[in-house]
Structure formats: C-alpha cells, structure tokens
Amino acid sequence: MPGAFLLDDFLLRALLGGVGVAMAVGPLGCFVVWRRMAYFGDTLAHSALLGVALGFLLAIDLTVGIVATCVALAVVIVLMQEQRRWSTDTLLGLLSHSALAIGLVIISVMDGVRIDLMGYLFGDILAVGRADLAWIWSGGVVVLAGLAAVWRPLLALTVHDELARAEGIPSLAVRLTFTLLLAVVIAIAMKIVGILLITSLLIIPAAAARRFATTPEGMAVAASIIGSLAVAAGLWGSLNFDTPSGPSVVVAALLIFVAVQAAGALLRPARGA
C-alpha cells in the first residue's frame, strides 16, 4: 500500500509538471509557428546547457542559472538583429552552437562534478520534484500573464510587421518581451523534454492545433490541450514500454499531429460532397 501511494505521488508530480509546461508552451508555440521561429527556439534551448554549466560553476540554483543564461542570450539576439549586420540564420547558428559548445567545455573541465547529460539533453519527466513543480507553475503563470499583456501588439506585428510599426506599435519592446517569455518557458520545459527536444514541444502541438482552429486564441487553447494530452500519453508510454520519458512525450505529440492531419484529410472530401 505505501509503495502504491509513492508510485501515485510520483506519477502525479510528473503529470502536473508536464501539464504545467504544456499550458505555457502551447500559446507561445503558436507564435513560434506563425513567425517561423523554430531555429530561434533551438538557439535558446542550446543555451540552457550553458546555464547548467554556469550554475555548477558559480554554485547557484541550476534553474536560476538556466533562466538567467536564456534571458541574457535572448536579449543579445534581439539587439544584434536590430543592428542587421548578419542575417538571422547566421546569427542564430553562431550563438546556438557556440553556447552548446561552451557549456560542454565548462562541464568537462570541472572536477568532482557528476552531471547526467542524458537527463539534461532528453529530459526526465519522471524525476520532477516538488521544487520543480513550483518553478514550472510559477514560471508558467508569469509567462502566460506576460503573453496576455502583449498578445494584441504581438499578433499585429505577426500579421503585418510594417503596418503595425506604422500604427505606432513599439516593435522592439514587444519582440523583446516575447523573446524573454520564450527564454523562460524553455528554461522551465527543460526538465520535461530536455534541451534537444524543447523546440519540438513548442512546434508540434501548435502545428496540430492549426489544422482545425479558426481563431488565434482558439489555436492557442487547442495547442495547450494537445500538449497536455501528449504529456499524459507520453508518460503512459514511458511507464508501459520502458522508453525515455522526454522522447516519449514528443512521439506522442507527433502521433496526435499525424492523427489530426489524417482526420482533416478524410473530412475534407466529405465536406466538399
């Protein structure tokens, strides 16, 4: 009986952590899809490993180190984009691989520090603790509140950037806010799906929701629901088939995406008839 309680508690923490991440990731993922920022998300995700390394090096909380590093890199990216000296893909490629490499080098030269790189790279939702839940849910609330504050100007910039600027929308401030929110959500999602898979959790639920959503707000809500379903299904698959938890969540999201696309393709001829 005690063992069953511990197992239930262990599963509940994993599910709560995953759903908390999915709720925050869904709406942000919609903007990542609309604005074609997948590579941008990858760059911030790779910087998370540098945050881990700096956290160990400076003896600070790892989540604090990850958030600080992701936010700092996000600011650098936006400011360098404004200068227009390099193309965006060149800039993101430079910073993405450099941050990942520097993080690995720092980790390799630290003596007496044992780091589970596989856990950081691919996540471990089954290891989510109470402190992680506090970070995930508090961070998720902050992210959603911040996104709600800039939703309309950000949507205007996404639909027509030049027209939105002409109407007086502060493009730099809005883009910087969105980038910071993206950095925070990547930092809190790392525990669930890992550094290498975070972008897929941003993109796949949003892409699936895009198939049937009729409004931007509807797509954001649908993406959060699909992400939550993917977490639950991935968690079930991980426990039953003994597969890695982070990749299992992403595979579940992919299966939902395929099912939605197949259903849409089947319904289209029926509607035409």
DSSP state of 126: G
Decide if 143 contacts 70 (C-beta within 8 A): no
Segment 249-253 shows an average pLDDT of 96
Which tens digit of pLDDT belongs to each residue from 181-232? 998 998 888 888 888 889 899 999 999 999 889 999 999 999 999 999 999 9
According to the 3-state scheme, what is the secondary structure of 71-113? HHHHHHHHHHHHHCCCCHHHHHHHHHHHHHHHHHHHHHHCCCC
Domain assignment present for residue 220? The answer is no
The number of folded domains in the chain is 1
Question: Does a structural domain hold residue 131?
Answer: yes
Predicted TM-score (pTM) of the model is: 0.89
**What is the residue whose two structure tokens read 């049937």?**
212
pLDDT at res. 208: 96
Residue type, 249: V
**Per-residue pLDDT, 273:** 46
More confident residue, 1 or 37: 37
In this prediction, residue 64 has a pLDDT band, given cuts at 50, 70 and 90, of confident
Range of the domain at 158: 2-195
Residue 104 lies in a domain: yes
Q: Is residue 243 part of a domain?
A: no
Mean pLDDT of 55-83: 87
Residue 269: predicted pLDDT = 60
Mean pLDDT to the nearest integer, 105-112: 85
Whether residue 139 is contained in a domain is answered as yes
Residue 238 lies in a domain: no
Q: Specify the CATH number for the domain of residue 76.
A: 1.10.3470.10
Within a domain: residue 266? no
Under 8 Å between Cβ of 174 and 157: yes
